[in-house]
Amino acid sequence: MKQTTEVSGGAAIKRSRLSLRRKQGLIGWAFLLIAAGLIVMMNFYPMVRGFMLSLQTGVGARMEYSGFVNYSRMIGDPRFRQTLITTFTYLLVQVPIMLLMGLALASMLNNKGLKGRGFFRTAIFLPCAVGLVAYSLVFRQMFSFDGLINTILVSSGILETGHNWLGTAWSAQLVIILGLLWRWTGFNMIFYLAGIQNIDSSIYDAARIDGANVFQQFWKITIPLLRPIILLTAIMSTNGTLQLFDESFNLTGGGPGISSMSMSHYIFNTAFTGNPTIGYASAMSFMVFLLVAILAFIQLKVGDRR
């Protein structure tokens, strides 16, 4: 009788445990379903809807299915080709410089013998906290014909007369690149600094004993051990540059002409100014999405050796 009671008691405890695990599983699935629903609603549905719009032409209620006409239009659109080239110019020039500067600054500011490390770290990171519109307007004023930059260059004898920075194609692009470097280098530096601080200092001590100089330590130890973080920042920087909008819109206005206009700026103009064509703008947006996905895939294949 006692054994029977013990068996029935054990079975009850087992059923109670199973019931508790089932309840926990149901609660977990409930939270996951809420998160999954939000992701579908906020991410995947707009993607699908945007692709559907890219297959339509017309305006408002008169939009109708037209196949891949909008994608064919992109091939023959000189403005799209120009903004594509301009955006990739920003990508190929600005992103490598920014990542290298972030690595170098993180390595220097990790030196325990450097006085004022906290001040320099904060000063370099602070531009990330500045609003995109605010800093674009400040840079626009600095690089205007009678702005601070021309004043300094003329007074120091480097230039005889002021240069029209925002009125010349190459210099307008240069101003945007300088603005991107000023704002985002500190952001990447923080990632690298956190990664360097997680590297065991004994590795550097052993390298110094073996006769490795500072450059050799940086190239042979720091960069290989930071590879995952470098890959992450490269993907984020590529993604951000391909979707560049604020600097093009607020700093140069895309000018002169469309020489400094980014793809996102051109998409905005196509969708919301003049004679808006939502279908064509959606097709260009989907093309940007594909470019981001392809470049991220390539970077993962090249950079991740696991």
Write out the two tokens for 103: 């690595």
Please say whether the beta carbons of 184 and 177 come within 8 A: no
State mean pLDDT over 294-304: 82
- Position 92 pLDDT exceeds 90: yes
Strand blocks (E) in the chain? 56-57, 64-65
Please say whether the beta carbons of 199 and 165 come within 8 A: no
| Phi and psi torsions of 57, nearest 5° | -130, 165
Write out the two tokens for 248: 């093009």
The dihedral formed by the CA atoms of 255, 256, 259 and 262, expressed in degrees to the nearest 10: 0
Confidence band (pLDDT; 50, 70, 90) for 191? very high
Write out the two tokens for 37: 């629903």
For 192-216, what is each residue's pLDDT tens digit? 999 988 888 888 888 888 888 888 8
Cα–Cα distance measured from residue 306 to residue 302, given in angstroms and rounded to the nearest whole number: 11
- What pLDDT score does 174 carry? 93
Write out the two tokens for 263: 């793809």
203 CB neighbour count, 10 Å cutoff: 14
For 3-35, what is each residue's pLDDT tens digit? 555 445 555 555 555 577 787 778 888 888 888
Q: First CA to last CA across the chain, in angstroms?
A: 61
H-only helix segments in 43-167:
45-54, 69-75, 78-109, 117-125, 132-142, 148-155
- What pLDDT score does 2 carry? 47
Q: Output 58 or 84, whichever has higher pLDDT.
A: 84
- Amino acid in the structure at residue 298: I
- Position 255 pLDDT exceeds 50: yes
| Cis previous bond, 256, omega within 30 | yes
Q: Output 274 or 171, whichever has higher pLDDT.
A: 171
188 CB neighbour count, 10 Å cutoff: 26
For 232-244, what is each residue's pLDDT tens digit? 899 999 999 999 9
